[in-house]
Structure 1
Amino acid sequence: MTNPGPVLVVTVLNDPTADVVIRELYDRDVPVVRFDSGDFPASLSVEAEIAPNGFVGRLSTPSRTAELTAVRSLYYRRPTGFAFPHLSKQDARFAITQARYGLGGVIASLPNCRYVNHPHHIGDAEFKPSGLSVAARSGFLVPPTLITSSPDTARAFIKRNGPVIYKPLSNPVYLVDDVSQVVKVAEVAAEDIDDSVAGTAHLFQQRVEKIADVRVTVIGRQVFCVRIDSDLLDWRTDYSRLRYTPVSPPLGIEPALYEYLDHFQLLFGAFDFAVDAGGRWWFLECNPSGQWYWLEPETGLPMCAAMADLLERKP
């Protein structure tokens, strides 16, 4: 029998992708409790007591309550961080730590819950070096890649493997005049490398001479592949110039997708591939919390229904 309890959706207030999934669940009469962990403790409370089979208790918002043992699924999207602006800097640091390990620990320990995805597993999968290593072992083609803080090593890699692009290893909030910016993927030459490279770690990767990109969204055991045609090095910089076509994956891609996700214990992943003139798909990355819904209106692929099936835990 399907667990009749609620689905928890953990995300920011403005999340259009979560909105459409919640609407689909409501249409199926599946109860939903939505909250942002950053609302704790002002408008989110937790009561959790350890028992032989895990925690018992509840999470409560101003309008909903979820019994911890009854939660059927948790959809972990894009919650904000904890903040205690009314406290001193030292007290706020203490309170944030307690909230992270307290509320965060309870959310990560629900006894009968399906996680899409588990926040700890998301954290593991967000390390690009880990993802590249697992991708290679899973059977994907991976472009020659270097992670280094050595200017000389970077120059030698570029000369040996050019053309080469630079990618950030992560994308923290980067403010310019108080406006959030994205560090873009860009081609780099050996003469561009100076001693500032020694200041931190950098990722350099051979540029795939691509004719297209492919976004592969895996939801449970359903795979949705969309070819993205554009003239852009990084298609995410201008969505207005993109053309979308549903495609089937080449032989060997689908089992590699599952092997990759199974390694990180993920039920959802948004994979990016570059397609070369020979039709080969080159693995670039997998985002365990990636966006996906914008592709459904463009292609008609039933991705929202697939996500709702996964969260509903349909047999």
Structure 2
Amino acid sequence: MTPEGSVLVVSRPDDVTADSVIEELNRRRVHVIRLDPGDFPADITVTARLDEHGMRGRARTQTRVALLDGIRSVYWRRPRSYAAPAGMGEQDSRWCREEARYGLGGILASLPGAHYVNHPWRNRDAEYKPAQLATAARCGLDFPPTLLTNDEKAVREFLREHGPVIYKPLRSTDYQDAGNRALTVWVEEVAPDQLHSGVSQTMHLFQKRVHSVADLRVTVAGDDVFTVRIEGSPGIDWRRHYDSLTYSLIETPPHVRKGVRQYMDAFGLVFGAFDFGVGRDGRIWLYECNPNGQFAWFPEPITGAIVASLADQLQHAGGRHAS
């Protein structure tokens, strides 16, 4: 244990974003423990005692031991889902998973005195796109007219009023084809002849398309705000065209900085990754905020700056103040 306490990183094994932060903390000789709830109970043993003195105990992985009252900060990234022992029936398996979620999950969310980046419950609250846009409106951030519905007629009316219109999923949910290959639902423009009764099967999000000249990824880490201008995408969803993109770190427009600060405070976030589009008239439109967004794919000078800021948050539980 270091004098400053340990940093707990909660994430899955194949998380390059978490890897980059852990490497920086290791370089600084900060004691790091990595834990993935998806490894419980097979490879993790936890004992927690609670009394009038609070919580104490330990979590043991295959390589590390974390004292529950010795965690200085928690980097909550992208852990796998809670699991159950193999070979159980569906009902028993569901029971074990839910007990793990509310038991282990409750422990990890209640570590005494720990600084969370972000707290998992704050992440959860901030992942709902309707809540994101309602909060953005209160914070003075512009966003395109948006429709949430399962009514095909309402979508057709929205298309007539605001077309062209795009569709985007409300959550990045794991989806696989018959060959177990991971599939992604991309942001796409919707034509009237593509609409059918399937709209009624669940909730959908439609939004007026912004004809953008560039995109902005605004990453907030504590007091630091990093705004990257992204150019060169030949399509609507720039995530499909990484090889075509160019990135430049720019000054954050004052009204954007003010709005994202208010937004972060509203959700109680320490970290957030905002996506904006820059319209042909220069107006800046918010698309969404991922409270746990990626950044390790940026060129090294940009990635390195964000990694250092996050490491400051975790090492010093408060970060540095930046312009």
CA drift of 1:296 comes to: 4.4
Q: Secondary structure at the match of 2:125?
A: helix
Change (3 A) 1:271 1:160: same
Say whether 1:294 aligns with 2:300.
no
Q: Secondary structure at the match of 2:138?
A: helix
Q: Secondary structure at the match of 2:281?
A: coil
CA drift of 1:22 comes to: 0.9
CA drift of 1:83 comes to: 2.0
Q: Distance in 2 between matches of 1:34 and 1:288?
A: 20
Q: State the partner residue of 1:139.
A: 140
| Map 1:1-315 → 2, pairs under 5 A | 4-84=4-84, 85-177=86-178, 178-230=180-232, 231-297=234-300, 299=302, 302-313=305-316
Q: Which runs of 5+ in 1 are unaligned?
A: none
CA drift of 1:281 comes to: 1.2
Q: Which runs of 5+ in 2 are unaligned?
A: 319-323
Q: Distance in 2 between matches of 1:86 and 1:288?
A: 35
CA drift of 1:311 comes to: 0.5
Asked if the contact 1:54–1:109 (Cα under 8 Å) also holds between the matched residues in 2, the reply is: no
Change (3 A) 1:300 1:124: closer
Of residues 149-158 and 40-49 in structure 1, the stretch that sits farther from structure 2 once superposed is 40-49
Identical positions, percent:
45
Q: Which amino acid aligns with 2:128?
A: F
Asked if the contact 1:224–1:301 (Cα under 8 Å) also holds between the matched residues in 2, the reply is: no
Q: Secondary structure at the match of 1:176?
A: coil
Q: Secondary structure at the match of 1:295?
A: coil
Q: Distance in 1 between matches of 2:74 and 2:268?
A: 14
Asked if the contact 2:213–2:279 (Cα under 8 Å) also holds between the matched residues in 1, the reply is: yes
CA drift of 1:192 comes to: 2.2
Asked if the contact 1:3–1:70 (Cα under 8 Å) also holds between the matched residues in 2, the reply is: no
CA drift of 1:169 comes to: 0.8
CA drift of 1:63 comes to: 2.0
Q: Secondary structure at the match of 2:69?
A: helix
CA drift of 1:251 comes to: 2.3
Q: CA RMSD in A?
A: 1.5
Q: Which amino acid aligns with 1:9?
A: V
Asked if the contact 2:226–2:252 (Cα under 8 Å) also holds between the matched residues in 1, the reply is: no
Q: Distance in 1 between matches of 2:281 and 2:209?
A: 15
Query: How high is the TM-score relative to the length of structure 2?
Result: 0.94
Any idea what the Cα deviations from partners look like across 1:35-56, whole Å, max 9, x if unmatched? 1111111111111111335311
CA drift of 1:184 comes to: 1.1
Q: State the partner residue of 2:321.
A: none
Asked if the contact 2:296–2:303 (Cα under 8 Å) also holds between the matched residues in 1, the reply is: no
CA drift of 1:86 comes to: 2.4
Of residues 81-90 and 256-265 in structure 1, the stretch that sits farther from structure 2 once superposed is 81-90
Q: Distance in 2 between matches of 1:304 and 1:68?
A: 25
Any idea what the Cα deviations from partners look like across 1:239-291, whole Å, max 9, x if unmatched? 10111111112221112111111111110001000001222210000001110
Any idea what the Cα deviations from partners look like across 1:175-217, whole Å, max 9, x if unmatched? 1131111111111123322221111110000001110101111
Equivalenced residues, count? 314
